Structures are given as structure tokens and as C-alpha cells.
Structure 1
């Protein structure tokens, strides 16, 4: 098959949540089909990776998504009555490439990754091509959750509510036109179906959950990894893009509300915040017990030399790759309920809480009890090996693309 694959962020290197999923989808499709890849890169350093994808695809086109476009996108969204998300990713050059590709290549199918790329469906409706939309998460609900956060100003609450309302309308319209729609977990699927039913849409038979996987050979706890820090004390780790609001909120909450309780019991504790582009609020957290690394080439040494992973997210959609990767490295994870959605690991539920005092107690318990730590380490590794294979997940995509 000749497949047009549209992504909102270049799927290489696979070093953050959405790029991990889109990369494994690309690699899988390219092993069986002729793929034409189009989308954006928002980090200037990612421009060099466009050529790295040439071995996967027949043709590609990427445009630079300059963050300075956001103000203009906001103004256009107000004028046109559209979500800011769509205006942000609306690019005349990419539209032209898609239209030109369709005119000269007899495409068989189109896979759209994220709602923001749905506006590029060839021919507007996608009727001529087999069309699969991978929403991944219900993004509109993320904006709705932001609007209900207590610290959000009244003007921003209006902005977030508007974005939630308009983006949800577009997500539902996409699902009504697509041959199949994917979400990352059964929980996200049921949420989306409830929104569709409320809107009077009959799409249940065309909406599926396709969970993320984890590369257990890449994340191998048996390998020897160089020590990324001085090694003294006990080490906790959080990984993720540190300019992403939910990650910023999570680590701020952990450092201010939870870490002091842990440090009182374990003065030698060290918390490593590992991820690119740390927000100024994250950089300000650095101190006696906190190390903010910024961008690292490889997160595995930090995982390998940590005692525990923590995932204190208070807003989260879908499945957290950071949790799966830590589990694959044999790291017990202490997390909030939001961070464990879709992972369905019963043994971790005992260490899952949104209360700062209980969160700290769970961390201390795992730091102090070597036998419990050893048992949990083996259990979480076995769980991802058994339930989070990319090969098993992507089998569904093969069926949907060929139907």
C-alpha cells in the first residue's frame, strides 16, 4: 500500500511521549508499505533528523513550527472561530505538498496522527482514501481540565474552555468522517465515546483503543550503564519534556509538597528531573536535594542508577511512556492515579495516591524495604514484557489500514 502519514511532530528521535508512539508506527508501516511522511518539527535541533528518516519513507516534507506563531494563531482562531490548536498547525506549504502528492501519487490510505493534523486530510473529507485517525488522547479534555485548575486566571479559563469546546467539535467531526479512530487506552476510548454519544454520533464500531508499547530490549536493566551523577545517597528520577505544563506542575508539586517529607526521613535523597527545555520554574527547583539536568542524550543511565521513579502528574491523558520505560528498567514507580491510567498494573496501585503525605510514605517505604523493592522491581519488568509489546499493539493498525 501507498500510505500518507501526517504527524504534528517529527517522529525522531523517539525521546518523548508522542514521538515514541509515532516513531514506532512509522517503523512498523515502513517495513510493509510505501510511506509518504509529512508534518512539523518544533525544535531547531530536530531539523537534522529529517534526513535520518529518509531510509523509512518514499518522500517526506517537514515545516518548522516556530513558537512565535502562537500569538498569530490565537488571533486567527478568534477571527475564524476555530481552535487555536488547528490554527497553530495550519501551514499553506504543507497543504500544498499534500495536494500535490495526491495529484501525482495514487495513494491508498492516509493515517493522521493527532487531531491537529486532521485538517490535512486529502480532498477535505478523505472519502477517496482509507482514512485512520490516531487521536492518541482526547486533547479537548486536557484543555477542559486546565480550565478547572484553581490557579488559572479568569481570562485563561475562558481561553481554555473555548479551546476545549471547539477542539472537541473538531475531534468528533474527524471521527465521523474517518474509517477508524484510535485512542491510546480503553479509558480514553470510553471517554471519547461518551462525548460522541452526547453529541448524537454513532461511531462506536469505528473507534478502537491501541495502547502504547515499550522497547524492552532498548530499556534493558541487565545492561551496564555509566553513572550519570556522583552516586552518593538514594536517587529518585522523573523523566519528560520539561517545558510541558503538566510535567512542570507535577515536579513543582513534588518538590514543594512531597520531597521535604522524604528528605526529613532520608536526608541523603536526591531527586533528578531529567528532560529537555526545563521551564524557568523547573530550573528554580534545583538545590540541595534536586538536580535539573536539561536535555540528555540518553535517559537510561538515570533510570538504571535510580532507586525509584516518581510520576506526580496531576493532569495526564492516556498512557505515560515515562512510567512504562521506568518499569521496563525494573524501577518501582510511585505515582498519582492520573499517571497510571491505562497501565493496569495491580501491584503499583498500592503505591498510587494523590495525597502528598501518603505519596511520601510510599517512597520512604520502598527506600527502606529492600525485599519489597526487589520483588516490585521484578514484577513491573514482567508486566511490561507481558502486556506492552509494540508488535502486539500495532497488529490492530494493520487490520484497520487494510480493511
Structure 2
């Protein structure tokens, strides 16, 4: 089967943000001897140098420089229905991308096309209208933006994001309508898009985790430790890390003076760095997080808002590091309290969950094994690809 991927970003590195879906779907399809081509935007020159790292997954690859859209351009399309879907390269925000897609479609016998992104890729509907097309909204959309707005620290950023939210809601009322299928990660995402456009054929397929990469060694941590991994440009992640440092960790350490804490993530703010001590490690960016899961007894996640799938929880379960978390941080994941994870709404409940795990080897080991089993059964990229292939069969009438 010949498949064309049209994406708003390159698929590398695969364990950064949403690029993993593009990378791992291509990997799974390549293993199934399906031929996939990629046309995508890039916004940094070094992304061109990354192409050899994933070229083995694709038959042909074309990268096109991304184009910044002004508020005026976005509003212009909203004002006139006839401009919603461009009909030629000159009407597109990126004529170069239009021409690249058109060339691929003219020269290859595709059976399925994919669009990964949102505003950056929807405008190529006219080119793919005669192909079964799966649209995967990976860029910020209206469900994701309120969380980002609440988590943003500066007033100017909040204003920009609010304007983008207003535009996104307007576009979503018609942007996905002509496409064969729209695939999102969670039921919440599906509800948001369906409320904006009830005619959409929306499917929910969760993200996966690379179980060939996230493989536990089986050695227990030498010293008990808690772990949190966040993105500290996000205020919610900062607040969660501060809560761990200021309340959760000290409470648990009263009975476990040897307990250590690892807070990991880009750009930790000064308020977070101030918690660093002999047993509290504020590491900043870490390229490979697997050793941290191995060093840690428990992964703690007290987030009060979550958009999409929390990949760190998937990675933790894959590494057999038990998780204590809020229900919100697990949105979209089929996790059972007391079987795969311990859930707590408040800081006090999270503390009690951590204490239970540290005191009960039987509970600890059950969560380890049941969590890894859940990943192997439902959250491998092979399982994710199977669900997309099922969509192929429906679209092609197999």
C-alpha cells in the first residue's frame, strides 16, 4: 500500500512532543512493507540535518520551509467562505508546499493520505479530495489552548493565545468537515471537535510508547526516590513541581529520611531551583530519561490540568516505575486505580499513595507488573498502528 504523510513538522526527534506519532506510524508501516512518503514543514535549518535519522522509514521525503501566518491572513479566510479551501498554489499560505504535495500525488499511486497538524495542513484538501484521508489534529486546537492559556505566565502570551483560541474555534467549525476521518487522542478531544462540528466522523486512538526503547533492567533503585518530569515553560508543570518539593516530598520524607527527589525538565525557574539540596536534584534538561526512571521508586504527577495523552505516565509504566498521580494527569488513559496506578485528588491523597507503595512490596510489585502488562496490551505503537490500519480497511472497503 502506498501512503502519503503530509505533516506540520518533521518526525524527529520522535520522543519530543507530538512528532512521535508520525515517526512511529511510519516505522510500523515500514515493518509491514507499506510504502510511505513524507512531505512536511520545517522551521529550523538543523531539522534538515536530521533527515538521515529517519529516511529509512520513508520511500521519499520532502521538507518545505514553514510559513508564518499573520492575524490578517487568518481573518481574511474566515470572512469569505469561498476562501476557506484554496483551489490552487497561489491561494495557499505555502505555494511551495502545495506544489510539493501535487508532485507526489501526480507521480505515486497512493491509496491513503494523512494530514498531521491543523491550520498548517488543512488547506490542502483540494489536492487530496479524491483520496481517503485521515486528519490527525496535532497542532494546538481549541481543547488544548485553554490549558495553555491558564498555564501561561505572561499577560502578553495569554493575550496572543486567547486570540489564537478564538480563531481556532472559528476554523474548527468547518476546517475538518470534508475529510474522511478525524483522529484524536482522547474522548475529551473528540467531544470538543464534535461540538464544534457535529457532522465530523471522529475516532479516538491514544498515543503509544516505544516498548523497545523503554525497557526496564529489573534492578531496584539503591535509594528510594520520587521523580517528576515536566515542561517548565508551562505554569501548571511549575506548580506541580513546587507542590512536590514544598509539600509532598517533605511529608513522605518524615518517615523515610533517606528518600531522594528528582525534578527534571527544561528551564526550571529560580523558585524551583531554590529547592535543590543534598537529596533534591533539579536537573534541567535530560536527553535520556530512562536512567531516571531506573533510579526512582515512584513517578509522581500532581497536575491539575492535562491536554492529550500524558506520555510520561506511559513511559513510567513501561519502565515498571509505579505511578501516583491525579486523575486529571491521566486523562485519556485506561488506568484502573489500585491495579495500574494509585490515584489521588489532593496532595494529602498523593502522599498517602506514595507511603502505601513504599510500605507494601506486594502492592508495589503488582503495580509494576500490571502497569507494564497494560502498556504491552494497549499502548505499544504496534497496537496504535493496528487501529489506524483498521481505519484503512473501512475507508477502502476491505
TM-score class, shorter: 0.7 to 0.9
Q: Which residue of 1 aligns with 2:71?
A: 77
| Paired residue secondary structure (2:304) | coil
Moved more, 215-224 or 382-391: 215-224
Moved more, 99-108 or 308-317: 99-108
What count of residue pairs does the alignment treat as equivalent? 377
In structure 2, C-alpha distance between the alignment counterparts of 1:153 and 1:296, rounded to whole Å = 26
RMSD between aligned alpha carbons? 3.4
Superposition pairs for residues 31-180 of structure 1, below 5 Å? 31-41=32-42, 46-63=47-64, 76-78=70-72, 80-81=74-75, 93-121=96-124, 123=126, 126-135=128-137, 139-148=141-150, 156-180=157-181
Superposition pairs for residues 306-325 of structure 1, below 5 Å? 306-325=296-315
Q: TM-score, length-normalised on structure 1?
A: 0.80
Distance change >3 Å, CA 195–CA 266, structure 1 → 2: farther
Q: Return 5+ residue gaps in structure 2 as ranges.
A: 78-92
Deviations 1:126-177 (A, max 9, x none): 312221101258731221234456x866655543333223213323423211
Distance change >3 Å, CA 35–CA 242, structure 1 → 2: farther
Q: Return 5+ residue gaps in structure 1 as ranges.
A: 84-89
In structure 1, C-alpha distance between the alignment counterparts of 2:104 and 2:208, rounded to whole Å = 31
Moved more, 6-15 or 307-316: 6-15
| Paired residue secondary structure (1:347) | coil
Is residue 291 of structure 2 the alignment partner of residue 301 of structure 1?
yes
Match of 2:252 among 254, 259, 262: 262
Superposition pairs for residues 2-401 of structure 1, below 5 Å? 2-30=2-30, 31-41=32-42, 46-63=47-64, 76-78=70-72, 80-81=74-75, 93-121=96-124, 123=126, 126-135=128-137, 139-148=141-150, 156-196=157-197, 201-203=198-200, 206-222=201-217, 233-243=223-233, 246-275=236-265, 277-280=266-269, 284=273, 287-288=276-277, 289-348=279-338, 351-401=342-392
In structure 2, C-alpha distance between the alignment counterparts of 1:191 and 1:216, rounded to whole Å = 31
In structure 2, C-alpha distance between the alignment counterparts of 1:285 and 1:103, rounded to whole Å = 59
How far residue 236 of structure 1 moved from its aligned partner, in angstroms, is: 1.6
The answer to whether the 8 Å contact 2:29/2:385 transfers is no
In structure 2, C-alpha distance between the alignment counterparts of 1:15 and 1:27, rounded to whole Å = 14
| Paired residue secondary structure (2:211) | coil
Q: TM-score, length-normalised on structure 2?
A: 0.80
In structure 2, C-alpha distance between the alignment counterparts of 1:45 and 1:346, rounded to whole Å = 42
Deviations 1:311-364 (A, max 9, x none): 222321222121111111111101122211122221358732342232223223
Distance change >3 Å, CA 285–CA 166, structure 1 → 2: farther
Deviations 1:270-293 (A, max 9, x none): 222334x43545873561143233
Q: Which residue of 1 aligns with 2:90?
A: none
